[in-house]
Amino acid sequence: MKKIFSFLLALILVQGVFAQEAAKKPKNPIGGRPNIPSDLKFEFGFTTLNNRPEELGLDFFPSRTFNVYYQYPVSILGEKSGMTMDIGFGIGSDKYGFKDDQTLFNNSDLGPESSELLDITDVYGDNIRINKNVVAANYVDIPLDFTYHLNKSNYSKGFRVSLGAKVGYLYNAHTKIAYEDVDGLKRKIKDAQNYGFEKFRYGLSLKAGSPGFYAWSYFGLNQVFQTGQGPYANKAKQISFGIAINVF
């Protein structure tokens, strides 16, 4: 979480520099948001797994997604075409809440970059009360969107729709468990390792809404786990969806 806050601070500082430079230039009435040269987007939503075995069940609300992207829109096909290409970078964080108080543990039979799904009580004891159980996968992402603006004379107003893609690199994966034993002792355990997650991800995205608020979805094209290294040798793929706000 500290890394995400540091990243947000850096984005805001960069945005401030761009805004100062844009303020020095005369406004262009056709160029589409001429004095707002980039977008800082916060995406909130939920994640599920497609093509998964029945044993790999997820609870809906704990399985959340939070993305922060900084994208720069470039007009294409002419200033009045209504089309922009939005290239950027950012951080994506996906959390998986597995059902029945289960979580990922290293599978010693498969090696260090692997995982199996086990009951937490089988590992830390039967007489405990589990208060938190989540698996997190954090990525550095490069999103690319092709956006059509219905208001072709002012891209900062009106409805717009985007079709795009993103590529990401896994920089951190961990489990976080909080529980209380029969004596009232509270423990929090964070275990950071690969768990068999694929190092790279890629997929398609669809977005629609206003310049300040939109709905989004992401459809992963590659497997979430490396072949044969995840629980139940699954071939699950990620699907995420939610809402977002565009700060600038």
CB 97 within 8 A of CB 58: yes
According to DSSP, residue 181 is labeled E
128: nearest Cα among 184, 90, 62, 54: 184
* Residue 9 pLDDT exceeds 90: no
Residue labelled with tokens 């468990």: 177
53: nearest Cα among 181, 247, 225, 169: 225
- Any idea where the domains of the chain sit in the sequence? 2-246
* Residue 202 pLDDT exceeds 90: yes
Of the chain, the percentage scoring pLDDT greater than 70 comes to: 84
Condensed to tens digits (0 to 9), the pLDDT of residues 129-143 reads 999 999 999 999 999
Q: pLDDT at position 3, please?
A: 47
For 173, counting Cβ atoms within 10 Å of its Cβ (0-12 exposed, 13-18 middle, 19+ buried), the class is buried
Q: pLDDT at position 52, please?
A: 94
